[in-house]
Structure 1
């Protein structure tokens, strides 16, 4: 019996070693097109990818899109062109540690740093003195709340917000339900370095599929694009560091939820009710209780955690109705 385990170990060790040195997959034509249409700016010595499209003539409105975890600005691909028909400028970025931006390691990733990154990008693009609209999802919701807090404090050099539209983000720690793998990465300093290295496409696809509705699953090609964005610049190796944002939400709940509850900036929530991460009805009931000035759109019952990808038409209809209401 002991010899059998020795043979298994001798076989597995080189296989694991080979796997750990598998290079990131090559960009698909769709991702290459997205990357080619974007630019890079420097933030605290790091390269940050962003895309800035000019659209509707006769409009001065600007919208900045803030993506979720663990994906990238490519999450907005299905609503990008319609947004450019409504707004003068549509801007999205990959947060530090995501997509085509740098993914430093070791690094103490924080919501505060990501908010400062958005402000730096706005300054880089000449938007510091212009009112901007924010649309955010998931992880991006918390970044948006930090930006909202700063804007309402009237601190010089920060963004001036015209509106904020949130979607399916765990803004309330008490209703947030992290996925099993996220809890492992967050809670186990011993397992995290191993898990981040051994996670492969099939594990990733299964985990991501669980936060999409049964009738709105991404295609294999769409899952693959998400995986490439994660693996680019070895982003899988920093997942455990980025996930500390869950603890930051808990620590700074009063700051961020307080800003949401007290702001006079027009607010809207677009919500996919099948979301297992922010489950219905607990999440939306608490949101309605604490954020009484916000309007809400609850999408069809089969829409889950990624509404802008699962129901782009419904998402856009809800967002444009919100924008046109003030």
Structure 2
């Protein structure tokens, strides 16, 4: 026979929690499950008047059954220069809104788009997002606008830098359908994958593990703004309203649910390093790189050194009336 405790209970049998405690857990479950369901199905935030104005000033074109948002403004009379703006991750073409008017005063045409998976463009899932697809979308947009035969001044940021590198590779290899690149301006992007330092959350999401879909569904404005704020300088932090606009654009069409798929671009940078870095080394296209020392994309001295080595080797003016440095001033 088993020995019994002093109260006649078998000490080897786990004790059941008190009935009162079990009741509390039942209530936690009854309240927690519907609250979690409500949280996961919250509607996207309302668009601010500024963001609504940006959308209403743009248009959409179709690329392989995907609806792609873009803005195209006619600008300075007498200028023939066309500027195409490529945004970063995880934002949208709205990144350029504060300099848009200034650019239209300087250039003949100013064009920006939301890459597929970003902003007001379609955000399909499941979908294999790739830099190659985004570059093809840029080419498709310029054909749609009748600008594919024009010399294009490419201005890119972050994620857009890698798209610009792929476009440059296609141009250098005379690929059918490639755009004519007149100049290239890269800013704050991990163009050298070996020096890029992704944040912890990016590492977790890009690996596509079991946590990725959970994290994307639980993503909210607080964590979004905190995470994005870490890549801005201490004197260039966006306002709460600006963070809200960024978040609203991400949440449009459930964009937060495709963040992990889009982040595969970090792995693509490593895989295709020779193709994309090689394009920068081999080209004769005038180019400028503008790294910010505190940006995670440029965390090491070697990265900054290499970037400015490219810059010094490419001091040819963008056009007769606009140098790369003048273009940077227009962006500030």
Give the TM-score, by structure 2 length. 0.87
- Aligned CA-pair RMSD: 2.1
SS at 1:174 equivalent: helix
For residue 36 of structure 2, what is the aligned residue in structure 1?
A: 16
Q: Deviations over 1:111-165 (max 9, x none)?
A: 0000000000000000111111000000000000000000011123210000000
For residue 179 of structure 2, what is the aligned residue in structure 1?
A: 159
For residue 78 of structure 1, what is the aligned residue in structure 2?
A: 98
Return the match for 2:113 from 79, 88, 93. Answer: 93
Q: Deviations over 1:65-122 (max 9, x none)?
A: 0000000000011211111111000000000000000000110000000000000000
Kindly indicate whether the alpha-carbon contact (under 8 Å) linking 1:148 and 1:259 is maintained by their aligned counterparts in 2: yes
Structure 1 residues 85 and 289, CA gap change in structure 2 (3 angstroms): closer
For residue 300 of structure 1, what is the aligned residue in structure 2?
A: none
Kindly indicate whether the alpha-carbon contact (under 8 Å) linking 1:270 and 1:318 is maintained by their aligned counterparts in 2: no
Structure 1 residues 245 and 279, CA gap change in structure 2 (3 angstroms): same
Return the match for 2:51 from 26, 31, 34. Answer: 31
Structure 1 residues 90 and 320, CA gap change in structure 2 (3 angstroms): same
Structure 1 residues 319 and 125, CA gap change in structure 2 (3 angstroms): farther
Kindly indicate whether the alpha-carbon contact (under 8 Å) linking 2:57 and 2:71 is maintained by their aligned counterparts in 1: yes
Q: Deviations over 1:15-50 (max 9, x none)?
A: 111011101111110000000000000000010000
The CA distance in 2 between the partners of 1:317 and 1:195, in whole Å, is 44
The CA distance in 1 between the partners of 2:212 and 2:176, in whole Å, is 39
Kindly indicate whether the alpha-carbon contact (under 8 Å) linking 1:165 and 1:319 is maintained by their aligned counterparts in 2: no
Is 2:326 the counterpart of 1:320? yes
The CA distance in 2 between the partners of 1:120 and 1:148, in whole Å, is 15
Kindly indicate whether the alpha-carbon contact (under 8 Å) linking 1:38 and 1:50 is maintained by their aligned counterparts in 2: yes
Structure 1 residues 63 and 18, CA gap change in structure 2 (3 angstroms): same
Structure 1 residues 322 and 25, CA gap change in structure 2 (3 angstroms): closer
For residue 123 of structure 1, what is the aligned residue in structure 2?
A: 143
Return the match for 1:218 from 234, 238, 241. Answer: 238
Return the match for 2:64 from 23, 26, 44. Answer: 44
For residue 293 of structure 1, what is the aligned residue in structure 2?
A: 313
Structure 1 residues 321 and 228, CA gap change in structure 2 (3 angstroms): closer
Q: Which runs of 5 or more residues in structure 2 are unaligned?
A: 1-16, 316-321
SS at 2:297 equivalent: coil
For residue 103 of structure 1, what is the aligned residue in structure 2?
A: 123
For residue 184 of structure 1, what is the aligned residue in structure 2?
A: 204
Offset, 1:189? 2.0
Is 2:74 the counterpart of 1:54? yes
Kindly indicate whether the alpha-carbon contact (under 8 Å) linking 1:193 and 1:237 is maintained by their aligned counterparts in 2: yes
Kindly indicate whether the alpha-carbon contact (under 8 Å) linking 1:260 and 1:291 is maintained by their aligned counterparts in 2: no
Structure 1 residues 255 and 179, CA gap change in structure 2 (3 angstroms): same
- State the aligned residue count: 305
The CA distance in 2 between the partners of 1:38 and 1:146, in whole Å, is 25
Offset, 1:276? 2.7
Give the TM-score, by structure 1 length. 0.89
The CA distance in 2 between the partners of 1:319 and 1:11, in whole Å, is 58
Is 2:294 the counterpart of 1:274? yes
For residue 174 of structure 1, what is the aligned residue in structure 2?
A: 194
